[in-house]
Amino acid sequence: MNELVFKVNEYITLKLRYGNTNIYVKNILFNQCKFLLLNIPVENISKFDEIQSIDEAAEILDKSMEGRSRKNILIPPEQEFWGHCSNLQAWTELNYDTRVLHSNLSFPLLKELTKAGDPIAKRVFKEEIANRFLEGKITQKLYLVKEKYLDHLNKEELESLIEDYIDSLKNLKYSEEKDQEIKYVIEIGLKYIKEEIVKKLIEKYKDFNPNDIIALNELGKVFRTMNYYDQAIITFKKAIEVDKYYFPSWINLSDTYGYMGKIRRSIRVIKEVLKFYPRKSIILDYLGHIYWELGFLHSDFKYYDKAIKVYKQTLKKYPEDPEIYQRWCGLGDAYRGKEDFDKAVDAYFKALKNNKKDLFSLNELINIYNKKGDIEKVIFLCKQALSICPSFCPPLEVLYNIYCKRKDYDNAIKICQKALEYDIKEKNFIFPADWVRLGKAFYKKGAHSEAIKAFIRALKIAPRDQEIMKHLRDVIWEIFAMRLNVPDFLLIDDQKLIKRLFHNFFV
């Protein structure tokens, strides 16, 4: 079968290859599952009262051409190809009207076109993000945030979006689903935009559900962020009136006094809760933490002593508490603050005895033994921490440096590879530094090809990082000095990258 090519516009091209229709954006393959769901002439869409878009048609009509059932309907590949061409051409001629192309295709395609620099697509894409956010359910909003679609809007556009969302809440009746949605939008607002607009949203939510304790606490935190401390205190006290057993309200009130520099008042708030709160161990833990923070902030041993006293009292009074390991950890922190390292070590080991997966205590023990110069103990504890979480950065970095200092590059490489394998398996975000660490170990070992692979992986995450570029240049310089060629195993794009770094040295 001959290859067919159809250029829709300067950004979009369709190609029929081996019976499959592929979409290209600026000559780069756009990997998108495609099927010819239906092909309704644009001028006919408005004739249907019930169907205003291809998406609605997909819901109403039998999706007979989706998924496996598509195998039962024989459409010649060329006919299907021209059907796609027709749909995409109509879509572009109508300035990417989202009614005429299925959203499963149009939305991600708009995203790619925006990246490619298409100004019309950029405008439509932003409008589509806003529409989906305003009209979609909470799952749609979660999707937009998770996939970083909101990052395509600038601050002013986000503020306008939240303002529109606030307007949409007028005369809205209470429902549990809407309640959860508004709380989530508040979280989004706190992350992305001005506190003033978030305050408006929370005030609106208060009208929607006036005695919601979470909304009151969120509003108080917004006031506190804006340095409106008096209003924050009034709001947190209102939350306490609604439910005095909701401890986060007391914590927020105490923290606000702390921000104001009223330390005694801050402590008094927590002590007040001790008079009636059923689980006093939680209150005592927090009190101990406040004393530790004060010791840390003011470098004052008297606060550490008070923290030690509170933690010891709690440990004695509640020996069977399931969270006892956190108490031992807090006690260790207080002793470490006083530089009483032997007692700190004892406390951290007791924390580990009660929770063998306590990475925080393990990390503190590693730091203490590192200061003491007990390297073998440090290695043992690092291995223990990495057996729990192979990519836990502090012990990984410590053990990596020890191995490299000893020129034990094989073990340095091994722990880096295990960390990357773990993060890939768990779908954790991988930082450029993770690949750089591996690349440096390979380079020190003399494994130039593997070092280049690792540094290129890092560059793909952070293309303009000068430090990574320097590491890559160092490897290439050495290859030049040894009169070696650029490794053949690299992809053509990677070879182009290397040649771009050293274009003066390639003929």
Q: How many helices (H) and strands (E) does the chain have?
A: 24, 4
Q: What is the mean pLDDT of the chain?
A: 82
Cα torsion angle, 149, 152, 155, 159, sign:
negative
- Cα–Cα distance measured from residue 272 to residue 54, given in angstroms and rounded to the nearest whole number: 61
Q: What is the pLDDT of residue 67?
A: 47
- Cα–Cα distance measured from residue 413 to residue 443, given in angstroms and rounded to the nearest whole number: 10
CATH number for the domain whose boundaries are 358-417: 1.25.40.10
- SS3 string, 431-484, reads CHHHHHHHHHHHHHHCCHHHHHHHHHHHHHHCCCCHHHHHHHHHHHHHHHHCCC
Q: What is the pLDDT of residue 66?
A: 47
Structure-token pair, residue 236? 């947190």
Q: What is the pLDDT of residue 497?
A: 62
Structure-token pair, residue 469? 């570029």
Structure-token pair, residue 188? 């989004």
Please list the residue range(s) of the chain that carry CATH number 1.25.40.10.
211-260, 279-355, 358-417, 431-507
- Cα–Cα distance measured from residue 17 to residue 13, given in angstroms and rounded to the nearest whole number: 13
Q: What is the pLDDT of residue 210?
A: 66
Q: What is the pLDDT of residue 177?
A: 66
Nearest 10 degrees: CA dihedral of 210, 212, 214, 219?
A: 10
Amino acid letter for position 72 = N
- Kindly give the parts of the chain with pLDDT less than 50: 32-33, 37-40, 42, 45, 47-55, 57-58, 60-71, 489, 492, 504-507
Q: At CA 317, angle to CA 314 and CA 318, rounded to 5? A: 80
Count of alpha carbons within 13 angstroms of residue 197, beta-carbon side: 22
- Cα–Cα distance measured from residue 393 to residue 481, given in angstroms and rounded to the nearest whole number: 35
CATH number for the domain whose boundaries are 279-355: 1.25.40.10
What is the second-level CATH architecture of the domain 211-260? Alpha Horseshoe (1.25)
Q: Provide the 10 A C-beta neighbour count for residue 505.
A: 10
- Cα–Cα distance measured from residue 399 to residue 388, given in angstroms and rounded to the nearest whole number: 15
Q: Provide the 10 A C-beta neighbour count for residue 429.
A: 7
- Cα–Cα distance measured from residue 129 to residue 145, given in angstroms and rounded to the nearest whole number: 10
Q: What is the pLDDT of residue 63?
A: 45
Q: Provide the 10 A C-beta neighbour count for residue 24.
A: 17
Count of alpha carbons within 13 angstroms of residue 226, beta-carbon side: 19
CATH number for the domain whose boundaries are 431-507: 1.25.40.10
- Cα–Cα distance measured from residue 434 to residue 442, given in angstroms and rounded to the nearest whole number: 13
> What is the DSSP annotation of 285-307?
HHHHHHHHHHHHHHT-HHHHHHH
End-to-end CA distance of the chain: 39
Q: What is the pLDDT of residue 217?
A: 87
Nearest 10 degrees: CA dihedral of 401, 406, 411, 417?
A: 30
Q: What is the pLDDT of residue 321?
A: 84
Closest CA to 449 of 486, 502, 409, 499: 486
Q: What is the pLDDT of residue 31?
A: 62
Structure-token pair, residue 466? 């000068």
What Å distances lie between residue 401 and 349, 357, 378, 404, CA to CA?
24, 23, 12, 5
- Pure H helices in 117-175: 119-135, 138-146, 155-168
Residue whose structure tokens are 């005429």: 100
> What is the DSSP annotation of 181-199?
HHHHHHHHHHHHS-HHHHH
Structure-token pair, residue 33? 């599952």
- Cα–Cα distance measured from residue 15 to residue 17, given in angstroms and rounded to the nearest whole number: 6
- Pure H helices in 355-392: 359-372, 375-388
Amino acid letter for position 236 = F
What Å distances lie between residue 495 and 103, 466, 467, CA to CA?
37, 18, 19
Residue 256 near residue 220 (C-beta atoms within 8 A): yes
pTM exceeding the 0.75 threshold for the entire prediction: no
